[in-house]
Amino acid sequence: MPVTRGFGSRPRRGRPDRLPPGQYDVGRDWPVLTAEAQPVIDPEQWSVTVDGAVATPRTWTWREAHALPGSTYVGDIHCVTTWSMLDTTFAGVSVDTLLEIARPRSDATHLMAHCETGYTTNLPLADVTGGRAWLVWEHEGRPLPSEHGGPVRLLVPHLYFWKSAKWVDRLELLTADRPGFWERNGYHDRGDPWLEQRYQGDP
């Protein structure tokens, strides 16, 4: 590919080794990006259901979810629109904890996250187990704001952030992969930022 006339590389602030290819460090200025009108969700009315290919379908209310063992993520997040935020903190519950209770069947291979707005995103089971995915309700020690998916969003920080579905209310275990919202609309099925899996057709 051609070098762009008159374009030079900028010193990248922060830690370039922590930035996947094509990403930049947004600092603490967290952009808001959604495809739908932002819903208003009362935490007392919110619940999350784990169902589909599981032995024991289960629903947790806000209070019940908070009674589960808590879990925190400290690290980086990466959005397909090219910003990354480094060393940020989320708190909630590990998806492992929910799955240990609901017990995915042996033929479960994928998970579809569903949201209050109708948004969906699909994930291989291996990407949401083993301490790699959370339901979170706190960011930097404060309640997760609605524009960032509050009261509760999915967090899968090792994949592009469209996989970390806002306003999540259902995790459906699947026995075969099925594309979610952006995955049907031109974006990559898995979305690994280190492999730059941004759009359909990427490796």
Partner 1 sequence: MSEPAAEPGSLWTTGEVVEIERIGHRLVRLRLDVAERLDHLPGQHYVVRLRAPDGYTAQRSYSIASEPADPLLELMVECLPGGEVSGHLHDVADVGDVFELRGPIGGWFTWSGEAVAVCVAGGSGVVPFVSMLRHADGLGILGRLRVVAVARTLAELPYAAELLAAGVFVALTRENLGNRVAAPPYPEELSALVDGVERAYVCGSVGFATYATRLLGEAGVRSDVVRVEQFGASG
- Per CB under 8 A, the segment of 47-55, 135-143, 164-172, 182-190 that binds partner 1 is 182-190
List all residues 6 or more positions away from 26 whose beta carbon is below 8 Å from its beta carbon: 83, 84, 85
- Closest approach, Cβ 93 to partner 1, in A, equals 28
Among 39, 75, 131, 143, indicate the residue that binds partner 1 (CB under 8 A).
Answer: 39
What distance lies between CA 95 and its chain's CA centroid? 11
Tell me the two tokens of residue 40: 């208003």
| Structure letter (DSSP) for residue 7 | -
Euclidean distance between CA atoms 187 and 197, whole angstroms: 8
17 lines the binding site for partner 1 (CB under 8 A): no
100 lines the binding site for partner 1 (CB under 8 A): no
For partner 1, the closer of residues 94 and 197 by Cβ is 197
Tell me the two tokens of residue 63: 């209070």
- Closest approach, Cβ 148 to partner 1, in A, equals 11
Euclidean distance between CA atoms 140 and 148, whole angstroms: 12
118 lines the binding site for partner 1 (CB under 8 A): yes
Among 5, 28, 42, 45, indicate the residue that binds partner 1 (CB under 8 A).
Answer: 5
147 lines the binding site for partner 1 (CB under 8 A): yes
Site for partner 1 in 68-87 (CB under 8 A): 81-83
Tell me the two tokens of residue 105: 């069947």
The three-state secondary structure class of 147 is helix
Among 14, 18, 25, 34, indicate the residue that binds partner 1 (CB under 8 A).
Answer: 34
- Closest approach, Cβ 67 to partner 1, in A, equals 32
Phi-psi region of 141 (alpha: psi -120 to 50; beta: other; left: phi over 0): left
Euclidean distance between CA atoms 133 and 198, whole angstroms: 20
- Closest approach, Cβ 78 to partner 1, in A, equals 13
Binding residues (CB under 8 A) for partner 1: these are 1-10, 21-22, 24, 26, 29, 31-39, 81-83, 117-118, 147, 181-182, 184-188, 199-202
